[in-house]
């Protein structure tokens, strides 16, 4: 066969046509894959972001009771001695309320000279003042709450309280975290489904979820709550769901 026959115009035309068909098929296939990828990308890019709320009322499991008082005398030494005498009486009374000695922590005593703010005369027997107190830290929450209502027993022993401040705490947060996070996530899913129904779409798979901070406050307020036995635990989660 001659060389001219191998490379005849007819052969070259056929090969060109075949190459064009293959190229066209490749372009169509590539276009189809790109369209599918773009569709999947857009599908993944469409999502609903909602927040889920969970709240729970719990009882405090720890209490801190701060008691402070002072004693006056004509000298620093006498004021310090008078204060220590009152301190022993105070601790005895607290122990008599059903608390343990290990729960009592003494605060430092401060001794200072009394000064009349108006520049008047200070009685010699009241010239020096010793001041301090104790902090009771216990898990006996109910007993502390009742004891704070009976501070007149201290007055009967000539102990005038200058401060009687109680704080209640909830420290077992890890125990209720799992169920609260579950409740918050379920609340978010309900919100997403409501939003999706109103928008004419369907909630798909979970895309992302972010846990918010747990807050502890008074049952009827978003703030404070240190002096309330019952606490409100609150958490808000942010969740994103894909839509179909």
Q: Write the pLDDT tens digit of every residue in 63-122.
A: 999 999 999 999 999 999 999 999 999 999 999 999 999 999 999 999 999 887 776 778
Average pLDDT over residues 28-47: 45
Mean pLDDT value of segment 157-171: 95
Q: Write the pLDDT tens digit of every residue in 171-222.
A: 999 999 999 999 999 999 999 999 888 888 888 888 888 888 899 999 988 7
- Is it the case that residue 45 has pLDDT exceeding 80? no
Q: Percent of the chain scored above 70 by pLDDT?
A: 81
Q: How far apart are CA 48 and CA 51, in angstroms?
A: 10
Rounded to whole angstroms, the Cα distance separating 26 from 43 reads 25
Q: φ and ψ at 139, to 5 degrees?
A: -95, 0
State pTM to two decimals: 0.74
> Could you give the domains of the chain?
46-59+172-243 (3.30.110.170), 62-169 (3.30.70.2970)
Report whether 157 contacts 89 (CB < 8 A): yes
């Amino acid at each position: 066969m001659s060389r001219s026959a191998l490379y005849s115009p007819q052969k070259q035309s056929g090969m060109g046509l075949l190459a064009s068909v293959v190229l066209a098929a490749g372009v169509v296939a590539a276009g189809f894959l790109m369209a599918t990828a773009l569709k999947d990308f857009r599908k993944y890019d469409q999502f609903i972001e909602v927040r889920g709320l969970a709240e729970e009322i719990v009882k405090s499991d720890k209490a801190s009771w701060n008691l402070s008082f002072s004693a006056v005398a004509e000298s620093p030494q006498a004021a310090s001695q008078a204060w220590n005498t009152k301190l022993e009486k105070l601790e005895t009374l607290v122990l008599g309320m059903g608390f343990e000695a290990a729960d009592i922590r003494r605060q430092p005593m401060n001794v200072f000279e009394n000064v009349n703010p108006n520049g008047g005369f200070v009685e010699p027997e009241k010239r020096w003042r010793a001041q301090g107190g104790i902090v009771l830290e216990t898990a006996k929450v109910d007993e502390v709450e009742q004891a704070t209502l009976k501070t007149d027993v201290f007055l009967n022993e000539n102990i005038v309280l200058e401060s009687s401040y109680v704080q209640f705490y909830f420290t077992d947060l890890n125990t209720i975290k799992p169920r609260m996070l579950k409740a918050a996530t379920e609340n978010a899913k309900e919100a997403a489904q409501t939003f999706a129904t109103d928008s004419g779409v369907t909630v798909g798979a979970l895309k992302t979820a972010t846990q918010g901070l747990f807050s502890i406050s008074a049952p009827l307020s978003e703030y404070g709550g240190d002096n309330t036995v019952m606490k409100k635990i609150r958490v808000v989660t942010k969740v994103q769901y894909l839509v179909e």
